[in-house]
Every structure is written in structure tokens, then in C-alpha cells.
Structure 1
Amino acid sequence: MGSWKKGRNSSRGNRTGAAAAIGLAVIGPSALAIDAGPALASITPQTYEIAPGPMADALSRLADETGAHLVFDAAIARHVFARGVHGKRTLEEALDELLTGTSLAYRIDPEGRAVTIMLAQNDTTRSDAGGAEALPTIDIGAEEKKRTDKRASAPGDSQHGAGLGGRFTGYNVTGGSVAGKADIPILKTPFSIQVVPREALDDQGAISVQDGIVGNVSSVQPNGDLFYDGFTIRGLPSASIYRQNLKTPNTTHLQTANLQSIEVLKGPAAMLFGRLEPGGVVNLIVKRPLADPYFSVQEQAGSWGRTRTSVDATGPLTDDKTWLYRVNASFDRSDSFRDFVFNQDGFFAPTLAYRPTEQFRLNVDAEYQHTIFVSDYDNVLPAVGNRPANVPISRYLQDPSVTAANPSRLDRKFIGFDWTYDLSPDWSLTNRFSYQSLIWAQRLTVFNSVDEVTGDIKSGLWDVYAPRNYLSTNLDLHGKFATGPFQHSTLIGFDFYNEWTSGSGYSGVTPNVAPMNLYDPVYRTSGYVAPANNFYGVGHTSWKGIYAQDYISFADDRLHLLLGGRYDWVSAGTGYGASSFAEANAAYRTAYDSAFSPRVGVVIQPAQWISFYGSFSQSFGSTNARPTPGQPAFSPQKGEQYEGGVKAELLDGRLTATFAYFDIVKSGILQRLPGSLYSTPIGMIESKGFEIDVAGRIDDNWSVIGNFSHDTVRITQDAALNNVGRRLVNAPIDSGSLWLKYEADGDFQGLGLGGGVTVVGERQGDNANTFLLPTYAIVNTMIAYRFQLPEAPWVKNVTAQLNVRNLLDSTYYVNSADRSTIMPGTPRTFLASLRLEF
């Protein structure tokens, strides 16, 4: 182990032997040394969690996690970006991954007591990490490491390479994605995966999950749903939303207070997740407890009376850091640019982590959310002619005595855990579990029709109380082994999902709702009397599946083959009654189905920084809509996708880029019947196009998130409504976004400026293509200043920030469901924040 080794393909340009000598010369009095203690004593691989960031920080974290004596000159690490390391590695494998794509090499001394980092020589030596041994973790306390790197020592950064509270700068995530379930780097995955990190959420002032991914990820648009938060991905509605790889129920007010990142896995992924939509999966990754104490409090205030207070606290509970904790909490209250609309949301999310040994890791999570609201989607605008009605977007077209005087309520409780046990250096077992309880009280009026000449609106009432319970769990066995020249990364798993729903209330026309006129509304704020219930509904869905996947690498790690398959069994039952739950239970009917979902892919890597991939996958999904009373449950939806593309890590790994071409066919499509809460099948659709995503750091000062998508989504079969050949609702052919961030140094260090534009092409407002939502462009900006208080050294950072969304105050429409349901976009919005970190 005394020879010099480089990160793979680390040579850039014509570096000479003199350059290497310079690297050797600095190892002496001028070098920065990080000594974590005694000699290296173990040769077994260990688990690393090193986030992308400045190389000096990443190397410091490596020393913390291994106990190595690490020596390097800060000058050679300056301006070098580390990819990060996630998962089980030997020490050499971890160093290879950190230094890949850089100009740095390493040497482990013959006695295994020190690691020296230097500039790489001009050769093509590839690291052979086969016999290296990892090091036992040594607790070196919370002592701050001295750093001379100007960028690494900027306020807010941490000695652990991920910034205070787990944030890092650069927007680039290159390690294995949780959405992949297996420990496979995104570059080597034969599907399109984009990750929005915490830093981007903070920079853009993204309070909701929708604000966090729409504009940051190609081919993602808000879904036109009256009740739930949702997304359209690659033109296909109702994208599945998961939390830590477990399905989360349809809900609203999804927020980012306790999120570390948001992942979007494009295309059908039923092999991994079971029931989902073929457009893609949104996977919410929660913050995890940290071993170093950290506390922050943030106060935000903005347009329409918004006030939001959030707290993030984490650290060890015991001296040996076996028990860790994290608590995230927020309280948000705001009105709206829409008359009578408001929201009040309280959120509390504690987490405990238990790390008794290197081999076992446990996280226990809880969440409680209580929301009182008259949501924006309770106030929708109709179409007149072939465009949205020409009325102010602030106009409220419901009866406030129904909605504002009796606001909707959501009470959500969550408990869950995940644990991983390393059976051996190459095999591990992971179990995840979640249970959620939701209680809804929803009140709104639903348009049935609008007289486009007089403006008279005929509407119905929806007043329902609906408790729901959801249980989800899975068990994954991961393993690595070799068969001759083939390296295998294997996943075998089982998952189970159970959903119990019920609801009672009134649906239909009632004299208790005052008539409304589109052009001259007259409001009342009291006098509503809830009518007697006229429906009772019960439902139960049980879903279980088994799956297996083998990721095979060969040809000097340049060719990768993914083979996977899953078999699902599902039972879905519903029952409706007009007078009681007993009647609903008597009418209960259950449908059973099963299916096999394959997933195959190939990745070719001619160099470590670029890969070409192709894949085929199928999905088997359930419908999340109500059939007309008396009709059976809808048949499962099925999807099939062919995808191919190119992925690259550019600028020494600081910037990632993905180009993907896809062709998806989905059957079992539903459309909500105009003026009702029920749906009908419309047949089959095809989504075909390409997309480009770029994210990361351009240089020490500039970071970027950019994307573009071109996607044509058409109805190819329609037995019910004769819409064959028409474009699908809410699916723009072209859309794109660009966000740039500048971080100053020198005299202006701590100043951050950000700005970007999102452009969305025209969309069909309904599947019959009777009206259009026009093209729109919105400009968003940010200015922030991060500083320290000399008179309060216990405050590590203070960050003042101002975000302006829709700077030019454009009038636009986000999406629609039909001619009666069009959602206008928010006008110019200011959000000021002050965050203190301790």
C-alpha cells in the first residue's frame, strides 16, 4: 500500500513529474495534518456518509469516520470539489470515489498509519482497491479543524463537508440515490434520476414540496387535483409520492421543514416500489440526526400576511453518541391573493437515531401536522371560450359561508422506523415501516357548469368527514459478490401496503349554497346549514409484492447490466351507501389482480465521467379516483417505457448533466367527469420526448440548476369520450427553467445572489382540447447575506435573505382539470427570512 494511487481518470491535461514533486514537497511543516488517533486497526469495510462539497471538508470527514492520520496541503485541495461517498467502502474505495475526476492522488503508508494526498502524476494508473482495509471509527470530539481554504472556511460551512445542519453548496448530488434502493451511483443507473438538495430548497425559499421540485426538475408540473398535492411527470398525472422509499398517502400541504432532499425517479419503477404511476416517483428524504450539536431558528415573513417560524435542533443524547436526536418544527400562517383564502399549518417532526455498533443503524421518526385551511384549489376559475375566463385571478367563486366560515381541516399523524444491519462486509438487511392516520374535514363547492354569456354558475356541494389509515413496510436484502470477472450488486425484497378509508357526508346540489355569478359575485359569510348526509363510503386496498434485482459490472467496471423483476398481488374493495355505513358495507365489492413488472437496463462507461444507458421497464399501478356510485372499482393502470440517454459529471465532478429520451405508453387512464367528483376511463395515452437536466457548481462562485423538456402526450385510445389523437391535459410540449446562484468572496464574502426564469409552453385545458392555458414565463430572484456576530460568538451564523417570486408580476395559469377547474398562478410574492444557527 505504499505506492501512489489516483482517483479513477484523475489526470487532467499534461501534468509533469515536477507537478508531482510539488505535491510531495508540501508534506512537511507547511502541511495540514488531521490526526484522528491511533494506528489503523481494522481491515473490514465500513459505512460512509460524506456529502459532496469542498475537498478539504470531505477529507476531514474521512479522517473523522476512519481514524486515519491524513496529511495534505490545503493549497492543492483549494477549489477542488469532492463527489461524496455514500455506502459501504474500504478505505481505498472511499479515497478512489472522493478523488475521482480530480487532479489528486493518495498513498497509504506501509504500516497503515497515515494517508498522504498529493497532485497526481501524468499516467493512467487506475486504483486497485481490492486489498485495502477500512479503519475503525475513532471519536475525536467536536474540536474544530483548522482550515486555510478560503472557500471551505466560509461562514456556514462545517468541518464535516456538509455545512451546518447538513446543507452543502453546489446543488450537485452524485452518490447513490435512495430512490434507487441499491447503492448505485446516479451516473451508473440506467434511468433518469434528479435530486434537489437542501441548499437549493433554502436558496429558493421553497416552503412546499411543489415549490421545491417544479422548475428544478425537467418534465415536472403541478397536477390539477382539487383535493391533494400532486405532480404530472413526463406528461402523466398523479405521480406517486414516497417518503424514505415507502408510499405516502394522498394528502395536502406537503412541506419541506424536515426534508434533506427531494428525489425524482423518472419513468415506471414498479419493480422497486410496486403501486405507482408510470410517469415517475417523487421520493422525500428526511433529515437525519447529526453527531455534532446544531440548532437553528428561522423567522420568515412575506406577502399576504405570511408568517412562518421554523426550528431545527440536532445532536447527541449520550456522550458516546450512540443515541442521537433531531427535531424539526414549524408554524405557518398566511392569507392569499385570493379573496377568503387562508392557511394555518402546524408541523412537528422528532427523530431518534440509535448507533450501538458499526453494523447496526436505527432511525425512529414521528410527525404530527394539523392544518386549517381554505385552500387555493377551493377557489377555481372556469374557461370561457377557448381561454380562462377574463376575470381577476383574485376573484372567489364559492360561497364563503360554506368554506371560509367552515374551513377544511387536516389532522395527520405518522410513526415509522427504518433499520439496517450489516450481516457481513458485503451483505446487509434493511427494514422500513410507516403508519399514518389522516382525518379530513373538507368543504367546498364544485362547479357543474357556467353560462358563458350570463356568467351564472351552477354548483354542487362537497361536505365530507373522512378518516383514513395507511400502513406500509418492506424488507430489503442487499449483497455484493463476484462470479469470475462479474461483480454483482444484488437486491432481494418484499413490501406490503394496506389502506383503510371511509367517508360520510353530502355530495350534490343543495339550497344551502347561494348561487354565484362569474362577473358579479355576491357573497355571504354566514347562514350555511350542513345538509343531512347522502353518502357513506368504505374502502380497503391491500398490496404486496416480491422483487429481485441484480446489477452486474464487468469489463474493468465499464459495462453494467441491470436485471430486475417484481410480482404483485392486489385486492381493492369499495362500498357505497346512501343511508348508513351498514348499507355501504353490504354493497362492498372486492377486485383482485396480479402482475409481473420487469426492469432491465444497460450502462456503458467509456470513461468514469460519462455513461450511455438504455432501459426498458413496466409498471402496475392502482387508480386513485372514484367510480360513479354503483360502478365497480377501476382496473389497474399499466405502463411501459423505453428510455435511453447520456449522463456526465463535468468540471472535475462538480457539475452533472443528463440527457434522456423516453417513450411511455399507459393504459387504464381516467378522466374526472365535468362537474362531479367521479371519474371515467378514457383508454390509453403515449408520452414521447426528451429532456435535459444540469445541476452543480460551475466554479467557486457560480452554481446552476437548469433543465429543458420536449414532450408530446396524446390520447391513443378512447372508447368513452372520442378524444383519440388529442393532447393530454396539463402537458406542455416545451418547458424549461434556469436558476443561477453567485456566492461572493473577498470583501463581499457571505453575499449570495440568485435568480432564474421558468418558461412553460401552452397546455390543453382538458382532454377534449376545448381550451388552452397560455404560455407563461416567471422570474424568481434571491439575495442573501451570511455573517457572524463578534459580540455573540455562540451564534455561528446569521443569514438574512429576501426571495421574490414572479418578479415581473406575470398573470399565468398553473394547471387545470377541466373547463370548470383552472388554477391561476401566484402574482409577485415577497418572502424575507432571518435564520440564526448555533
Structure 2
Amino acid sequence: MHPNLLLPVFAGCLASFTLQAAETVYDFNLPAGAVGATLIGIGQVSGQQVLFIPADVAGRQAPGVRGLLSAREAVRQSLVGTDLSVLVTASGALSVQRTGDGLTLDATTINAIRQSGETADAGYVAQRSSVGTKTRTELVKVPQSVSVVTREELNTRKSDNLSDALKYTPGFSSQPASFSRTADDYTLRGFNVGAGTGGILRDGMKLQSNPYDGSVEAYGLERVEVLKGASSVLYGQLSPGGMINTVSKRPTDTPLHEIGLELGNYDRRQYTIDLGGPLDDQGEFSYRLTGLWRDSGTQVDHVDDDRRYIAPAVTWKPDDDTSLTVLASHQDTYTGFSPPMSYALSSYSNTAGYKIGRNQFVGEPGYDHFTNRMDTLGYLFEHRFNDNLAVNHSLRYFQANTNWDYLIPVSVSGSRLLRRYSAREERSTGWTSDNNLNFTFDSGRWQHDLVLGVDYYHKTYDSHRFISSTVAQLAPPLNLANPQYTGVGANTAADTGSDLHSSQAGIYLQDQITFDDKWVLLLGGRQDWAESVTTTFATEARATRNDKKATGRVGLVYLADNGLAPYISYSQSFQPASVSNPAFGNAFAPLEGEQYEIGLRYQPPGTDTLLSAAVYQLDQDNSLSLDSLTNTYVQYGKTRSKGLELEAKGNLTENLQLSAGYAYTDTHVLEDKTASNVGKRIEGVPYNTASLWASYRLASLGLERLRVGAGARYIGTTRTTPSVYDGKIPAYTLVDALVSYDLDSHWQLQAKAQNLFDRKYLYCNTTCRYGDERSLIGSVTYKW
């Protein structure tokens, strides 16, 4: 290729522009459309020279390019999902060329290497994700269901926590915010994938060691990726429901500055800051600093929702082929644990006697509290040896300290609510590392993308629990007819906690084979080893277990010219039952899962839309169940989940963005030691859920700066423990809304309502909790 073949597109001043690391940013608002037209628009907005060959961009579509970006970053975003890349010439012009083509200009490749979790999302539609293959693969080539919530969707829905971020994702369900403030405890396809299962990952590696290590702060995330179904081949020990990968905000090549203030009901005050950009003129070092401070009450008196969060990050790029990013975070949470209650104690029960009110605090001020400190420190390293071989190495240390006391409602005698003590002091640590080689090569009509890796996870969980179990150990009762908080006595319960040390290691191999650019065959295999030692404090008994398991994965995708991509796959999961149980120690067998899935993705040509559909059958053997009232585990036979999931995400026009989903989930017990349990539905899992969210900028009415958003979430009927209540927990629909107004390119005002119509509902999964009431939040954000 010769320079005189390049077509220059000039807009504004044609003087040469020397690219600096601290590049000028411009306010882009370009709709999805032809790549050529988008590149011309970028040149017109920025006044910078953009060079391309018309034949290279002919027939190619670009996503919308919006926000405060440098010209280089805007061009890069317009090329996402194509085989085109952007170079910077010696004169500072931006040159677009096919990936792998030679160039005789003295040019510098931009972003030749990207961290595996780094994204270039524009709007609601993610084109690529590393979560399905540990390579930056287009989603249409992944033979398994993947849902991605981009940063723009998080912003336009103003998600406050991880549960909020995922509540419009089909197949996902969570407890109310009163519980999610203390723990990331979720289900996918009817199976628990919370922190206690290892199913919450950060930047592709395991994070917490137990359910109550603290919830993930959504403001510190760039995107959230959900891989549904059995997925142990790449990520090791997991629940068959799948995993949730949270991607940290990373240092940026262009300056980023944002501060925000939120005010809301329950005396909510929240302050945020997000800063990033280059640290030197050469662009070798860049940084990111994200912080949050929140003081807030809740719908229940004496229960706060306070948090402090800070996350610094630094990236070093000594050359275009090497990148090292150091990530750290510190988080303090001060709130209250929402105690479990039986259905009979809720206002939904028609049994005689006093009930616990929806907003009633049934603990004791000064006693009930949940305090958590969570810290992380790690790094992500990538190096590309040549066009075909790259190495990825990641490492992180995690620790959490949790102290939480609360009173558990037991039963009502007359108007007196009997309560048990629960006092817990817990400390968790975790070391995790993932290392792999990525090798690509062609063999005629076949292309191979090989990944060979080793990962390791070591965790400790030291939990001291003092939970009263006899009448003599009960706390003072609470008079529900005339509540008077009188304080608590001494908690004389014995320590029923335990100390767990476990190590998990695995080696994996995957080959993604493409034939004639139409067929994609994915083959993967893994060998896992797991060992654990649990010491029960009450008896000093030690229980040791060693497990190993081989798992596999196979999938096939066909890429049609019309944008359709049907696929079929089979995958397995493996999860050691490393839980403490005062009665049985750690003698449970591993949980094993397998999934069959048939799906279809569709990207209509010329649009920025992705439609997905999947049907699946997911089985788990050696299932475990936690009785929250007795705090013990029970292992039973086999559980099956069958279902259908539909999802649509699109930047439908320059001004309209949409996210929609539906899930039908049929989860039942197939085998159980108790014959009467066979055939029963799994608790807390609805047959039907549906959601719709739309965000629209009122440009057609001449109000380009005004955006409105609205959504609805339907959660169908569920079941709880049949011995407690054999009826159905009622279905409910929740409506959310948001309005934002851009005063100029710097100031933005927003107002958000969750559960706009204040719908009252009950959530039950073995035990019950009341749902969240309406929340109203206003915010102002300044960017420069």
C-alpha cells in the first residue's frame, strides 16, 4: 500500500497536527451508520485529518459514537467489530487500514494490545467480550448465552449496585436491596451464583471467599458480563448457573474528569469522583482514580446504607505490545442485615396473630449492624510476542473483615416477637492468579485461536458465629403491639463457626476453529484439583477433602451472510462443596453440572442491534440447600432447570436505545432422599420474568439535551418451603423511570425513580424479606 492511494478527508484546518498523549477531547454525538460517513463526521467535529481508502470501508457499519472523546478514540470506536484499525502517521493524521496490512508511512499503531476486559462499547450493544472464550471474540461467535451490560447502559439506568445493573438481564434474579447491600447473592437459570459459590469474578478472576465479604460497588465498574450455564472449562470451580464477571474501570488514554452529587429520599447523600488520563507526554503511563462516599438511611429505621469506596489504577505501556495495569480498591460498608423471617410472620400470611410490619425494625438499636471492610490489590499483564503469540498473566490479593450482629425473628407469642441472637465475626482472604498463552495460526481454509492456561485460587474463611438455639439463650422479646426497644442481654451461645482453608488449581486448553469464515467450532477441556481443610470451633474437629474433576465443552456456530448466527453447545461444571456445617463438617460430595443449549443470535445488517434466543437443559448432581433458620446445609440428589431466554439490545436510532428480555425457567427436584420433595419447584425461582427498558433523547421535539427513560420488570409467582407455606408467592411488576438534561457539554442533571408506583411485594427463598419501596434520587454531574 502506498501513501498516494489514501484518500484524505479534511475538516477545518488542514495544518498538520502533532498527536500528544494528552489529546484534545470533543463532544461527539454521531449515530450508527456507514463507517465512511462516520469517519467524515469525526473529521468535521474534530478538525483533524482522517485518511482511509473508500474500498476498505465500503459496506461496513459503525456503531454510534457519543461522548467526550479524542479524535483517535472516536475513530477506534467507529471501527469496533471490523477488521480495520487506526494508525497515527508521522504528521499526526489518523489513518485507517485493514488489520495486518503493511503501511509505508512512518506510523504508530494505536492500542495494538488491549487488556482482556477492556472495552470500546458504544451505546447498549457490546460487540465483543472476553468472558466466553478468554479472547476478545465477537459475541456472535460464542456458542453459549452471554449478556453484557455496558457502561452507557449503567449510566442511563443510573445503576446503584450490582443487582441494579443486572435486573434487566433475562434469567437473573436477586433478593431485595435490603439484602444486596450486604451480599452479592444471585441466581442464574435457577441456580445460585453468588459470592459463596465463587460465581462473582472481577476482571476474569475469582473475587470473594464467602457470601458476606461485601457487595461489589457498581460505580467502580466499566461493564458487567454474564456467562450463563455450566462454565468450568475456563473458570474452574463454579455453580452450573454460570458466572458474573465485573470489569474494573481502567486508566484511559484521553483525559477524563467527572464529579457528581446525589440527593434522595431517606436522607441520601452521595458524592462521586472519576478521574483518568495520561501521566506523561509520551503516553507511556496513564491512571484512573474512582471514588464514592455515601451516607443514607433506608425504608427501615435504624438501618443505614453508608459506603466509602476508592479505587486507584495505573497502566504502564512501554511499547505497543506490552501492558501492565495495577488495580487496587478499598471499600467500607456500614449498614444493617435484613433478617430472615418465616412466611407466617409476614403480612402476606392469613394465619392469626401479630405480623412484622413492612417497615418495622425488629432488632435493637445499637446492637444490629453490618460492618464490612474489603480490600483488593492486583495487576493485569499482557505481552504480544508477534502477530500470532501473546501471553496474559493476572494476579490479585483480596481480604475482607466483617462484623455483624442482628436479632432473628423466631415466632410470635401473643403480641411478643421472640428473637434469637446472631453475632458473627468473619475474616476472609484470597489469592488468585490466571496465566495463559494465546496462539493463532492459519492452515488453509482453517483458522485456529488456541488458549492454554493455568489458574489458581487459594482462600481462607475464618468465621466465628454465636447464634442462640435454646429458649434460655433468646434475646428479650419485642412487643409488636407497642414496640419499645429495651436493649439486649448477654449472648451466651457457643461458637458454631469454623475455619476453612482451600486451594483450587486447574489447567485448561481451548481451540476456537473457524472454517471458511462461516463455521466456528469451539473445543475445550480442563482438569481441576481442589483440596480443603475445615476446622469446626465447637469440637475442634478437622474435616479434609480432596477432589479432582475433568470437564469439557464443545460448541458450534454458523455465521450466515444475513446476520443470523445459530449455535449448539454442551458444557460441564464442577464445584467442590467447601462449606462448613456444625453437624457434618465438610463431608459433602462435589456439585457437578452439565448443560445442553441451542441458541440463535441475529445482528440485522446495517443496524446496531443484537437479538439473542436460547433454550437449554441444565442438570446439577449432589445439590446443596442452606436452611437459613438453622444455618445448616443439606445435600440431596439431582436438580434440573429447563428454560427459554430471549434478549434484545439496540441503539435503534441516533436517539433511541432499548434493552428487553424474557425468561421462562422451569426448575425442579428430580432426585432426593426425601421422596416427597421429588418433583417440587426450586424455591424462589419464578417460571416467568420479563423486562423492558427504553431511553429516548427528545431531539425530534427540538429538545436534544433532554433524555427520558422508563422500564418495567415483571417477576412471576414463586414457591417457598412447602412445610412453611404451600401456596404461591404473588407475582409483581416494578416500574423504573429516569430523566436527564444536559445543560451543556459539562453539566448534566438527572432524576431517577425505582419502583415508581411503590408496588408492595414479598420475596421468599426458604425465608422471606419485604421488597424495596419507592426510591427517588436526583443528581448533578460535572465533566471537564
Determine which of 375, 389, 396 is the counterpart of 1:427. Answer: 389
Q: Distance in 1 between the 2:81 and 2:405 partners?
A: 57
**Corresponding residue of 1:394:** 359
Q: Distance in 1 between the 2:44 and 2:576 partners?
A: 48
Match of 2:363, as an amino acid? Q
1:542 and 2:542 are equivalent in the alignment: no
Shift of 1:787: 2.2
Match of 2:322, as an amino acid? F
Shift of 1:402: 2.8
Determine which of 35, 52, 63 is the counterpart of 1:82. Answer: 63
> Does structure 2 conserve the Cα–Cα contact (< 8 Å) formed by 1:702 and 1:740?
yes
**Corresponding residue of 1:90:** none
Q: 1:548 to 1:356 in 2, by over 3 A?
A: same
SS at match of 1:606: coil
1:180 and 2:166 are equivalent in the alignment: no
Q: Which residues of 2 match residues 265-304 of structure 1 at below 5 A?
A: 265-304=227-266
**Corresponding residue of 1:365:** 327
Cα deviations across residues 152-192 of structure 1 (Å, max 9, x unaligned)?
xxxxxxxxxxxxx9996521111233453122110110011
**Corresponding residue of 2:440:** 480
Q: Which residues of 2 match residues 52-131 of structure 1 at below 5 A?
A: 69-70=50-51, 81-82=62-63, 98=80, 131=101
Q: Distance in 2 between the 1:521 and 1:356 partners?
A: 69
**Corresponding residue of 1:307:** 269
Q: Distance in 1 between the 2:261 and 2:59 partners?
A: 34
**Corresponding residue of 1:633:** 587
Match of 1:82, as an amino acid? P
Shift of 1:464: 1.7
Long gaps (5+) in structure 2: 20-29, 66-74, 111-117
Shift of 1:371: 1.4
Match of 2:429, as an amino acid? N
Q: Distance in 2 between the 1:4 and 1:698 partners?
A: 38
**Corresponding residue of 2:778:** 832
Determine which of 184, 197, 205 is the counterpart of 1:229. Answer: 184
Bigger shift: 671-680 or 127-136?
127-136
Cα deviations across residues 279-338 of structure 1 (Å, max 9, x unaligned)?
111000111111222211100111111111010011111121111111001011111112
Number of aligned residues: 732
Q: Distance in 2 between the 1:62 and 1:622 partners?
A: 56
Cα deviations across residues 232-281 of structure 1 (Å, max 9, x unaligned)?
10111234110000011133332212100011011111001001111111
> Does structure 2 conserve the Cα–Cα contact (< 8 Å) formed by 1:36 and 1:63?
no
Shift of 1:197: 0.8
1:238 and 2:193 are equivalent in the alignment: yes
**Corresponding residue of 1:146:** none
**Corresponding residue of 2:312:** 350
Shift of 1:684: 1.3
Determine which of 195, 201, 212 is the counterpart of 2:148. Answer: 195
**Corresponding residue of 2:707:** 752
Q: Distance in 1 between the 2:382 and 2:551 partners?
A: 26
> Does structure 2 conserve the Cα–Cα contact (< 8 Å) formed by 1:504 and 1:533?
no
Q: Distance in 2 between the 1:646 and 1:290 partners?
A: 35
Determine which of 408, 427, 448 is the counterpart of 1:467. Answer: 427
**Corresponding residue of 2:113:** none
Cα deviations across residues 123-152 of structure 1 (Å, max 9, x unaligned)?
xxxx99775559876499xxxxxxxxxxxx
Q: Distance in 2 between the 1:94 and 1:29 partners?
A: 18
1:799 and 2:748 are equivalent in the alignment: yes
Q: Which residues of 2 match residues 675-824 of structure 1 at below 5 A?
A: 675-720=629-674, 722-745=676-699, 747-766=702-721, 770-788=726-744, 796-813=745-762, 815-818=763-766, 821-824=767-770
Match of 1:495, as an amino acid? D
> Does structure 2 conserve the Cα–Cα contact (< 8 Å) formed by 1:626 and 1:677?
no
Q: 1:693 to 1:52 in 2, by over 3 A?
A: farther
**Corresponding residue of 2:170:** 218
Q: 1:653 to 1:488 in 2, by over 3 A?
A: farther
Q: Which residues of 2 match residues 340-739 of structure 1 at below 5 A?
A: 340-375=302-337, 377-378=338-339, 380=341, 382-383=343-344, 387-388=348-349, 392-403=357-368, 407-448=369-410, 450=411, 454=414, 457-509=417-469, 511=473, 513-516=475-478, 519-520=480-481, 522-524=483-485, 526-531=487-492, 533-554=494-515, 556-578=516-538, 584=540, 587-607=541-561, 609-623=563-577, 625-650=579-604, 652-673=606-627, 675-720=629-674, 722-739=676-693
Q: 1:698 to 1:60 in 2, by over 3 A?
A: closer
SS at match of 1:190: coil
Q: Distance in 2 between the 1:385 and 1:524 partners?
A: 20
Report the TM-score, using the length of structure 2 for normalisation. Answer: 0.85
Q: Distance in 2 between the 1:191 and 1:35 partners?
A: 47
SS at match of 2:560: strand
Cα deviations across residues 210-231 of structure 1 (Å, max 9, x unaligned)?
001012x101000587962211
Match of 2:134, as an amino acid? K
Cα deviations across residues 605-647 of structure 1 (Å, max 9, x unaligned)?
1226220100000000133643233443322111100001110
SS at match of 1:292: coil
Q: Distance in 2 between the 1:767 and 1:563 partners?
A: 42
SS at match of 2:128: coil
Q: 1:233 to 1:670 in 2, by over 3 A?
A: same
Shift of 1:37: 6.8
> Does structure 1 conserve the Cα–Cα contact (< 8 Å) formed by 2:534 and 2:585?
no
**Corresponding residue of 2:25:** none
Match of 2:731, as an amino acid? T
Q: 1:651 to 1:460 in 2, by over 3 A?
A: farther
Shift of 1:718: 1.2
**Corresponding residue of 2:285:** 323
Cα deviations across residues 454-500 of structure 1 (Å, max 9, x unaligned)?
46544422212111111110101111012232100111100000011
> Does structure 2 conserve the Cα–Cα contact (< 8 Å) formed by 1:222 and 1:232?
yes
Report the TM-score, using the length of structure 1 for normalisation. Answer: 0.80
Q: Distance in 2 between the 1:34 and 1:711 partners?
A: 61
> Does structure 2 conserve the Cα–Cα contact (< 8 Å) formed by 1:599 and 1:616?
yes
Q: Distance in 1 between the 2:266 and 2:375 partners?
A: 29
Match of 1:756, as an amino acid? G
Bigger shift: 26-35 or 747-756?
26-35
> Does structure 1 conserve the Cα–Cα contact (< 8 Å) formed by 2:347 and 2:356?
no
> Does structure 2 conserve the Cα–Cα contact (< 8 Å) formed by 1:83 and 1:653?
no
Q: Distance in 1 between the 2:770 and 2:140 partners?
A: 38
> Does structure 2 conserve the Cα–Cα contact (< 8 Å) formed by 1:3 and 1:107?
no
Q: Distance in 2 between the 1:244 and 1:72 partners?
A: 37
Long gaps (5+) in structure 1: 6-23, 39-50, 85-92, 118-126, 141-164, 789-795
Match of 2:500, as an amino acid? G
Bigger shift: 618-627 or 770-779?
618-627
**Corresponding residue of 2:69:** none
Q: Distance in 2 between the 1:366 and 1:316 partners?
A: 18
1:170 and 2:123 are equivalent in the alignment: yes
Q: 1:806 to 1:69 in 2, by over 3 A?
A: closer
RMSD: 3.8
Shift of 1:98: 4.8
Q: Distance in 2 between the 1:62 and 1:497 partners?
A: 48
Bigger shift: 496-505 or 410-419?
496-505
Bigger shift: 797-806 or 478-487?
478-487
> Does structure 2 conserve the Cα–Cα contact (< 8 Å) formed by 1:571 and 1:590?
yes
Q: Distance in 2 between the 1:706 and 1:134 partners?
A: 47
> Does structure 2 conserve the Cα–Cα contact (< 8 Å) formed by 1:381 and 1:397?
no
Identity of counterpart residues, as a percentage? Answer: 22
SS at match of 1:562: strand
Q: Distance in 2 between the 1:707 and 1:34 partners?
A: 50
Shift of 1:100: 5.6
